[in-house]
Amino acid sequence: MAMWGKDPRVSVRYPGRMEVEKYVYTPGLHGLELAKALKEGRLIGTRCGDTIYFPPTTFCPDHAMGEPVEIKGPWIVEAYTVVREDSSSRRLDKPVVIAYITPLDAEGGLIHYVEASEEEIAPGIEVEPVFAPPEKRKGTIRDILYFKVKNSAQE
C-alpha cells in the first residue's frame, strides 16, 4: 500500500496485508435515503448548515438533524493502493486499484475500486462513479461498479 504525507509526489510503501473483510459500515438512520439514491444512480450526503457530509450522517456535529442532499462531485482520488494478489496470495491476472475518493462539494469520502492503469492513477485525479444497470441495482454501495477517470473512454 502506498500513502502520502504533505507532499503528494513522495510515496512511502507499507508492505503487508489489510484485513478489509472484517470491517462493516453501518449507515444509520439516513441509510434508507442513501440506498434509495443508489438505486436511482445518485449519491447523497447530509447538509448541516453550510457543510455537506458524505456518507450521510444522521446528526450534525451541533446535534441538529441533517437534511439529505445530492452529492454531485467532482470526485477526487486522495490516496490509492494497487492490489496484485488475492486474499490467498495468488497473483491476480490484472492488478486492482482501490482508492480513497472524496467529493469536492462535501466533507468525507469512500473507498472504492477505480478502473485505471497504474500509469494513469495518481492522487488528485478526477473520477466519476459508474453505476450498475438500473435493473441490477439493490440499494447498496456495490451499485457503484467502480469509479473511472473522468473523460476516460472506459465504460
Residue 13 lies in a domain: no
pLDDT above 70 as % of the chain: 79
| DSSP run (H or E) holding 4 | strand 2-4
pLDDT of residue 35: 87
113 or 67, which is more confident: 113
Residue 59 lies in a domain: yes
Q: Is the pLDDT of residue 13 over 70?
A: no
Residue 65 lies in a domain: yes
* Domain count across the chain: 1
Residue 14 lies in a domain: no
* Residue 115, C-alpha cell as written in the block: 478502473
Give the CATH number, domain containing residue 101: 2.40.50.140
Residue 21 lies in a domain: no
Task: Concatenate the DSSP letters of all residues of 47-70 into one string.
Answer: EETTEEEES--SB-TTSPBPEEEE
Instruction: Please give the residue range of the domain that contains residue 115.
Output: 26-149
pLDDT above 90 as % of the chain: 50
pTM of structure: 0.74
pLDDT of residue 67: 86
pLDDT in tens, 61-107: 776 778 889 998 899 999 999 999 988 889 999 999 999 999 998 99
pLDDT of residue 20: 62
pLDDT in tens, 136-145: 999 988 999 9
